[in-house]
Amino acid sequence: MKSNSLTTAKKISDKSESQNMTQTQPQVITDKAVRSLADEIFKQLQEEGCQAKDIINVSSQLLGLVTTQISKPQ
């Protein structure tokens, strides 16, 4: 993957951090917004030259992070 993926991830992270600072409750994301975000991420990765195996790897890493997060005691 190229450095643009890191830039995209940084923008998403920065946006998320700023939202977390102003909100006390977790934000509920609509199904439409989730589909739109996934579509944009997919297109961005393809435009940056990622192959299918790279996109699958990113998806797998995201699932791993979520699995780790939800298995932690609150």
- Collapsing DSSP states into helix, strand and coil, what is residue 16? helix
Query: What DSSP string runs through 57-72?
Result: HHHHHHHHHHHHHHHS
Alpha-carbon distance of 2 to 70, in angstroms, equals: 30
Cα 29 to the chain's mean position, in Å? 13
Confidence tier at 73 by pLDDT (50, 70, 90)? confident
Q: Tokens 């195996």 correspond to what residue?
A: 53
pLDDT digits (tens, 9 = 90+) for 8-48: 655 665 665 555 555 567 788 899 999 999 999 999 999 99
Tokens standing for 24?
Answer: 């006390």
E-strand stretches of 1-74:
none
What are the boundaries of each domain within the chain? 31-74
DSSP state of 23: -
User: What global pTM score does this model have?
Assistant: 0.57
